[in-house]
């Protein structure tokens, strides 16, 4: 599932729901939050826990490893982004008779589904960027907006899962896996200049 905006309307599409899953049990629930008050409460919960994580819970090594990313416990994006998607992994499902339905390979399944979701957001963003760059060239007008498509952040709030699950009224079999803020980047947004590993470092071929 991913979201995109056409004029003021939001359209929802089932991209993540095309993911494969263990025994085709589809062990996931995606909560899409656009309500301002809920977003405020989510931010409050996340910032409260992350402040403890950064200040004492996680220790010096953790904060040192994160330093290059320049993250901290302030999570403005949780109230600024128009949409938050909270991806929940279902530890088990329910049978028609109310009994427990076993979910297989839940971690892989939710990871694949979120990967497809993030890819769908990025592809859409890339298509829009190509379109707008082409338009700038065609009409030979640099004042044409340097348009950037939808973006997201793979946010992994620590120790907030149960509180966020309860806030959204989700059942106990659901465990928060990922929180994706979705929206257009601010005009003055910056990103860390992260270097990628070389192909030779990550690919081993056996021909």
* Cβ at position 185, least distance to ligand IYR in Å: 18
C-alpha closest to that of 75 among 126, 36, 40, 121: 40
Residue nearest to ligand IYR (CB): 71
CB nearer to ligand IYR: give 69 or 127: 69
The reply to whether 157 sits near ligand IYR by the rule CB under 6 A is: yes
Alpha carbons 155 and 52: distance in angstroms, whole number: 17
CB nearer to ligand IYR: give 71 or 122: 71
C-alpha closest to that of 46 among 168, 163, 154, 153: 163
C-alpha closest to that of 1 among 110, 158, 78: 110
CB nearer to ligand IYR: give 15 or 50: 50
The reply to whether 161 sits near ligand IYR by the rule CB under 6 A is: no
Alpha carbons 172 and 126: distance in angstroms, whole number: 37
Tell me the DSSP string of 16-75: GGG---BTT---EEEEEE--HHHHHHHHHHHHHHHHHIIIIISHHHHHHHHGGGT--S--
CB nearer to ligand IYR: give 134 or 154: 154
Among positions 158, 170, 183, 184, the unique one binding ligand IYR when judged by CB under 6 A: 158
Among positions 111, 155, 168, 184, the unique one binding ligand IYR when judged by CB under 6 A: 155
- Taking CB under 6 A as the binding criterion, the range among 6-14, 81-89, 128-136, 155-163 that sits at the site for ligand IYR is 155-163
Supply φ then ψ for residue 49, to 5 degrees.
Answer: -70, -45
- Residues 15 to 74: which contact ligand IYR by CB under 6 A? 50, 66, 69, 71
* Site residues for ligand IYR per CB under 6 A: 50, 66, 69, 71, 155-158
């Amino acid at each position: 599932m991913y979201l995109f905006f056409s004029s003021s309307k939001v359209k929802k599409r089932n991209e993540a729901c095309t993911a494969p899953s263990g025994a085709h049990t589809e062990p996931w629930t995606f909560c899409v939050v656009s309500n301002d008050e809920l977003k405020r409460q989510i931010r409050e919960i996340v910032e409260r826990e992350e402040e403890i994580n950064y200040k004492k819970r996680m220790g010096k090594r953790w904060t040192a490893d994160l330093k290059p990313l320049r993250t901290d416990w302030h999570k403005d994006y949780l109230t600024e982004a128009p949409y938050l998607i909270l991806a929940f992994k279902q530890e088990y499902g329910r049978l028609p008779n109310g009994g427990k339905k076993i979910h297989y390979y839940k971690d892989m399944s939710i990871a694949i589904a979120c990967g497809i979701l993030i890819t769908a957001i990025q592809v859409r963003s890339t298509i829009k960027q190509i379109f707008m760059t082409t338009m700038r060239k065609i009409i030979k007008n640099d004042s044409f907006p340097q348009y950037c498509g939808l973006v997201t952040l793979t946010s992994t709030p620590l120790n907030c899962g149960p509180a966020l699950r309860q806030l959204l009224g989700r059942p106990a079999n659901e465990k928060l896996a990922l929180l994706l803020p979705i929206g257009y980047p601010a005009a003055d947004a910056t990103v860390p200049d992260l270097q990628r590993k070389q192909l030779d470092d990550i690919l081993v071929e056996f021909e």
